[in-house]
Structure 1
Amino acid sequence: MWLPIHINEQSAEPLYYQIEVQLRALIVSGQLEEGTLLPSIRELAQLLKCSVITVRRVYQDLENEGLLRTKQGTGTYVARIEQNAMDRFRLDSVIEGIESAIDAGKLVQCTKEELMKLFQEILERKYRG
């Protein structure tokens, strides 16, 4: 199974984090439905050209969150997630991104007003078309 996960080698974010964030997004957005069989740890590691340890960590983290379940001998599947939990996961991932953007803005000493204006402009542009 092919997964639309893209690794940015120039990113400061660790590889496992990049994979985890993207796989979580695929699950909570409904692009990967309940019961979907994921590639084995070894297969995904080969597809993404990373270590088995990295993929194992991603699968374990997402299983601990309740997004994946592993059946010994059959593989790793997308878990059944209640709608209110799904909504919480969706919003948590957005909150995390917004907080990172605010932290980046504060690092370069953007004002609250500048950040609000940027957010509004980007929001308008992204939803325009």
Structure 2
Amino acid sequence: MNIIISNQSDLPIYEQIAESFKEKILSGELSGGELLPSIRSLAKDLRISVITTKRAYEELEKEGFIETIPGKGCFVKAKSTELLKEEVLRKIEEHLVNAVHMAVSYGIEQEELEDILSCLYEEGIDHGK
């Protein structure tokens, strides 16, 4: 499992791990029912405390991304496509709120911002992103 953590990040390590798993789940890289690495195994691979890994898994479970089956391990929770889409839309909205705040603070008109978004979206479509 390829998870990258950074000591320079403002996020605590457990949040970096949880965010990495969320991204993999939301992108479809990890699918419902898939077994995650054991807490000990992941901690060993990342060279971090088992407590930190356990906390990341607890956060993921609390948010409904994974489920723990005693004696079997932690699995990606099978979610409906609609719930996954809502989570993605929420993340996009967070980024757009930041863009709107920046645009307003620099006097960029809504039409200009919409043009930028349209251009970026078209470029993404053209490049298969």
**TM-score interval, normalised by the smaller of the two chains:** 0.7 to 0.9
1:1-129 aligned at under 5 Å gives the runs 2=1, 4-99=2-97, 105=102, 110-112=106-108, 116=113, 129=127
Give 1 or 2 for the bigger CA radius of gyration.
2
Structure 1 vs Structure 2 CA RMSD: 2.7
5+ long unaligned stretches in structure 1: none
How many percent identity over aligned positions?
A: 33
What is the TM-score with the length of structure 1 in the denominator?
0.75
1:35 is displaced (CA, Å) by 0.8
What is the TM-score with the length of structure 2 in the denominator?
0.75
Give, in whole Å, the separation in 2 of the partners of 1:118 and 1:30. 28
- SS of match in other structure, 2:67: strand
1:96 is displaced (CA, Å) by 3.4
Give, in whole Å, the separation in 1 of the partners of 2:97 and 2:14. 20
Between Structure 1 and Structure 2, how many residues are aligned? 124
CA distances 1:4-57 after superposition (whole Å, capped 9, x unpaired): 221122112221121111110101111101111001111111112222122111
5+ long unaligned stretches in structure 2: none
